[in-house]
Chains A and B, each alone.
Chain A
């Protein structure tokens, strides 16, 4: 059974700091990995999608890397801003009994202090 772990569970940083969020998964037979952002009381917003054949994806101040063989992904946020405060979830897409399925980690709650 695929397990996804995110470290740290919570992180508080001052504005302007660069930071890294970590995601690990136990089964390396994945199709892709996706990073989401979730604001309080809101749904999930997709940030980056990395296919299993890719090593990284970038969008603005965000960079996500994928090392499938070691079962790890990192989300790098450059020059953090208070508006980045949210919960960040990673999810891996793997084959299930009835097609592919997303398995989520528990998230990292990020607070960026002005």
Chain B
């Protein structure tokens, strides 16, 4: 069974440019998460989806970040415009549901470098 798929794996852009990341969760997983991981830190939640609904986006910087999961399957995270401080790894994860017994499975991440 395929795991969580993310693309691209690496992205280098200049500041003020837009960038988008794509995630396809494990088949049948209703819950999808986007995390930000800075170097030497643990991941921090940006947004959580239950099917197509964003149910926890309190930590998403909404002035420049946006996300969508239109059909409740794959998702896109966008940054516009990117800033130097956005350089980090963006991880996507999925789980069967958001209940406490459900493990989260992570994708390989997209490493963003903003120059």
Chain A residues with CB under 8 Å of chain B are: 4, 31-32, 34, 36, 41-46, 49, 51, 89, 91, 93, 96-102, 104-107
Contacts and interface: CB of A to CB of B under 8 A. Distances in A.
Interface in B29-69: 40-45, 48, 55-56, 58
B111 interface: yes
A31 B100 contact: yes
Contacts of A107: 40-42
Contact of B42 (A98, A101, A105): A105
Contact of B55 (A99, A102, A105): A99
In this complex, which of A36, A49, A102, A105 has the most chain B Cβ atoms within 10 angstroms of its Cβ?
A102
B7 interface: no
A4 B101 CA distance: 20
B56 A44 contact: no
Contacts of A100: 98-100
Given A43-B106, A96-B58, 14 more contacts: A34-B104, A42-B109, A43-B4, A46-B105, A51-B100, A91-B42, A98-B58, A99-B56, A99-B98, A100-B100, A101-B45, A104-B41, A104-B44, A107-B42
B107 interface: yes
A96 B56 CA distance: 9
Nearest to A109: B40
